[in-house]
């Protein structure tokens, strides 16, 4: 047992423990930056989206089925993760930049939020040039709700998104729930179906505006019975 009295033995042990801890941390960081632990999104069926209850944000709110948004002309819909998030504001601004072209196509731009906290929606509106509705049951964030918790803050992609939005001049706050991931949908009228479904995989994983525009151009407006005759 004389080796226990040898200082180099303890030094070697401490180095081994430190190296092991460093290796474990490096492995955890590596895995956190892959998609291994990310929950896989479940694609939404048109029937699922059609049946979602939405509310207007007026003093006397009206409840209606989501299919009203796209029934005649189709629609582009952003499911906002958190209106006060500067990353969401960046994506909203990107989508709003498409509005002149969407107007030419006759395709409206909408957003849904999962909660109505203080002035968050009002403060979000300068970034988003469309009507906003409340999805209290958070069904636009399903069918399988996905969350990104604190693991998001050690993902390099998230930090890249942070710096991109900061450099773009966007700012925000910490009001409201921001862990349930959002997305963007392009839905055709009637039964044309879902033409684009982008599910946010991490904070700031925004949709490609060109993909949204390409999908919107595929929309075929419903022809009324009188027009058919």
Q: Is 88 a catalytic residue?
A: yes
Q: What number of CA atoms fall less than 13 Å from residue 135's CA on the CB side?
A: 24
Q: Which helix (H) or strand (E) segment is 208 a member of? A: none
- 44, 75, 76, 85: the active-site residue: 85
Asked whether the bond before 143 is cis by omega within 30 degrees of 0, the reply is yes
Look at residues 183, 184, 182, 187 and name the one whose alpha carbon lies nearest to residue 216.
Answer: 187
Helix, strand, coil proportions of the chain in percent (round to 5)? 40, 15, 45
Produce one character per residue of 72-111: b if its CB has 16 or more CB atoms within 10 Å, e if not: ebbbbbbbbbbbbbbbbbbbbbbbbebbeebeebebbbbb
Say if residues 165 and 92 touch (Cβ distance below 8 Å): no
Q: Is 38 a catalytic residue?
A: no
- 75, 88, 102, 111: the active-site residue: 88
The three-class DSSP label of residue 132 is: strand
226: Cβ contacts below 8 Å, ≥ 6 apart: none
Q: How far apart (Å, rounded) are the C-alpha atoms in residues 132 and 84?
A: 14
Supply the residues annotated as catalytic.
85, 88
């Amino acid at each position: 047992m004389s080796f226990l009295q040898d200082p180099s033995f303890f030094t070697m042990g401490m180095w081994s423990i430190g190296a092991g801890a460093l290796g474990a941390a490096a492995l955890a960081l590596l895995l956190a930056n892959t998609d291994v632990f990310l929950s896989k999104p479940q694609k939404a069926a048109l029937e699922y989206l059609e049946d979602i209850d939405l509310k207007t944000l007026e003093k006397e709110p009206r409840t209606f089925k989501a299919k009203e948004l796209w029934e005649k002309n189709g629609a582009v819909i952003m499911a906002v993760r958190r209106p006060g998030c500067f990353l969401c504001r960046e994506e909203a601004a990107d989508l709003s930049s498409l509005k002149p072209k969407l107007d030419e196509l006759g395709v409206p731009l909408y957003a849904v939020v999962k909660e109505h906290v203080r002035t968050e929606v009002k403060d979000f509106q300068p970034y988003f040039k469309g009507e906003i509705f409340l999805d209290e049951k958070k069904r636009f964030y399903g069918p399988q709700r996905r969350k990104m918790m604190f693991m998001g803050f050690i993902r390099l992609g998230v930090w890249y998104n942070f710096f991109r939005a900061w450099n773009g001049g966007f700012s925000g706050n910490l009001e409201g729930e921001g862990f349930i991931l959002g997305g963007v949908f392009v839905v055709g009228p009637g039964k044309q179906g879902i033409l684009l479904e982008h599910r946010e995989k991490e904070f700031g994983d925004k949709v490609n505006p060109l993909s949204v525009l390409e999908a919107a151009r595929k929309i075929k407006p419903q022809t009324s019975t009188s027009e058919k005759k």
